[in-house]
Amino acid sequence: MNRFYLPPGHCAGDALRLDGREAHHALHVLRLKRGELVAVLDGVGNEFLCAVENSSRNAVTLSVSLKNFTPPLPCSITLLQAVPKGKIIESIIQKAVELGARRIVPLLTEHVVTRLDDRDAADKRTKWQQVAVEAIKQCGAAWLPEIEPPTTLEKFLAPHRSGGRQTAGLVRENEKCGSLPKAATPAHFELALVGSLQKERRHPRECFREFQAQHKRLPQSVGVWIGPEGDFTPEELEAIQAAGALPISLGRLVLRVETAAIYCLSILNYELNL
């Protein structure tokens, strides 16, 4: 069944309207006719089974016959991905959507070739978010991941460093509900992992087993850091680990950036029983 995307605010009532990019795809690529069944995703768990009611030159009206809700996955996965060269990031976003990532943070680290000003960063984010939209339409994911604006490692970690107002408030809240291990609070993840080539690293399974032994459950939020071509610098890796990330092995071979991202997300799917 053909799938389309509409923002949640456009999905109220028994009739939905496709326009813009989605209407063009329905009318001029798929050439949908009256009565044909389609699915509409709103990116926040809802899928609407619809029939084509009527169409004009630039819009398609759909009548909703059934609404299904899919709850979010029990663990929220964040991919913190240093931006690789060219369009590789688009492929990484596609695969991350398919593998259940809820949030993707593009990082501008020292070895990242791409340099973006504020306008370029905003344009890239818009483009990458559309890549994520196309990915949920392809794979049928009910939840649309958030693609954050590209940011530097220093800016991402700044609000989370110990002693900061935001971190202090988070720690107080965590102490009250007992939801996060202290080592992970600076990074806002119950479990944070970083792909590493250094000698002091562990198999990801050991990190999960250790978490389960301590908390008697699986983590509810996981962050995984993947470096660019040339990897993180030693100083960057030190900062990431200081924020609570555990260095993990990605096998005996040196993986390409996109392979490393898929490898880690696949491991998370397996270990979290997603």
Taking residues 199-224, report their average pLDDT: 93
231 is written with which tokens? 């990897």
pLDDT digits (tens, 9 = 90+) for 121-131: 889 999 999 99
Task: Measure Cα distances from 176 to 102, 159, 179, 187 in Å.
Answer: 25, 21, 8, 18
- Given a contact cutoff of 8 angstroms between Cβ atoms, the answer to whether 159 and 151 are in contact is no
- Given a contact cutoff of 8 angstroms between Cβ atoms, the answer to whether 16 and 49 are in contact is no
CA 246 to CA 192: how far, in whole Å? 6
Task: Measure Cα distances from 165 to 123, 161, 170, 186 in Å.
Answer: 31, 9, 9, 12
Least confident of 15-24, 67-76, 81-90, 156-165: 156-165
pLDDT digits (tens, 9 = 90+) for 162-208: 444 333 333 333 333 333 333 333 458 999 999 988 778 899 999 99
**Which domains, and CATH codes, for the chain?**
3-69 (2.40.240.20), 76-271 (3.40.1280.10)
* CB neighbour list of residue 100: distance below 8 Å, 6 or more residues apart: 73, 77, 141, 265, 268, 269, 274
pLDDT digits (tens, 9 = 90+) for 14-69: 999 999 999 999 999 999 999 999 999 999 999 999 999 999 889 999 999 999 99
Q: How far is CA 109 from the centre of its chain?
A: 19
pTM: 0.85
pLDDT score of 160:
56
Residue keyed to tokens 């390409």 = 256
What pairing do the DSSP bridges indicate for beta strands 146-147 and 59-69?
unpaired
